[in-house]
Amino acid sequence: MGERTTITTKDGSFSGYLARPQKASAPAVVVIQEIFGVNQVMRDVTDALAAEGYLAICPDLFWRIEPGIDITDQSEAEWKKAFELFNAFDVDAGVKDIQATISTIRKDPGCSGKVGAVGFCLGGLLAFLTATRTNADASAAYYGVGIESRVGEAEKLVKPLLVHIAEEDQFVPKEAQTVILQALKNHPNVEVYTYPGRDHAFARVGGAHYDAADAKLAAGRTQQFFQKTLG
């Protein structure tokens, strides 16, 4: 079971959900939220990473708009709210908040020093930008929305990046996927996996497009990636 923690920046403070592993010292992973806030799905991901042996933290990246967002993908009203938050979100400020989270968790007595990041949906884009703009040691992006418009930043990639792409993603059309694949497929620091027949958020438990087999496959690849890059 996790705990609430606080991350402080020059712009103010915001909360995060922190889950500790059983061992006293471990690599850390920053969990980057979807457009539904730090909800049960994100807390479960954070808890699962702690169970795997990581010091895991999920920061509230919507704090500048409305702190404490915790909604689901189960109603039309919640989807409407989620897209309002998505449209109001400042991506550049969000990446700075992720760097603040990385710096905070790296100084935690329970952190061995290395810090990775994993993000989903909006968080997938942010995970890509975490790889290009922060000092994270490794980043993993699930079905990132909008990466195609930022692929020019790939030239700044010096740390490992893992990208999962759903081939039938309604929010990342085929043209966008082509741009992403062409920009990243031969990059020495990038691993890209595509999932035929899968739609957006195929790894979100309880979601409309959840696929247990491919969610497990992607999770296994992410687990191996972090074992290799974070030690």
Q: How high is the pLDDT of residue 231?
A: 83
Q: Are the CB atoms for 170 and 79 separated by under 8 Å? A: no
Distance CA 136, CA 2 (A): 22
Q: How high is the pLDDT of residue 182?
A: 95
Residue with tokens 């400020």: 93
| Domains of the chain, residue spans | 3-230
Q: Does residue 92 have an active-site annotation?
A: no
**Assessment of whether the complete model's pTM goes beyond 0.85:** yes
Catalytic residue among 137, 199, 200, 211: 200
CATH, domain range 3-230: 3.40.50.1820
In eight-state DSSP terms, residue 143 is: S
What is the bridge-based pairing of β-strands 55-59 and 26-32? parallel
Q: Does residue 164 have an active-site annotation?
A: no
Mean pLDDT by 10 residues, the chain (231 residues): 91 97 96 96 97 98 97 93 95 98 97 97 97 98 96 93 98 96 94 97 94 97 97 83
Supply 142's token pair. 């699930």
Q: How high is the pLDDT of residue 185?
A: 87
Q: Are the CB atoms for 218 and 203 separated by under 8 Å? A: yes
Within 8 A by CB and 6+ apart from 101, the residues are 7, 16, 30, 57, 59
Catalytic residue among 73, 97, 137, 169: 169
CB crowding 26-50: b at 16 or more within 10 Å, else e: bbbbbbbbbbbbbbebbbebbbebb
Neighbour count for residue 57 (Cβ, 10 Å) = 28
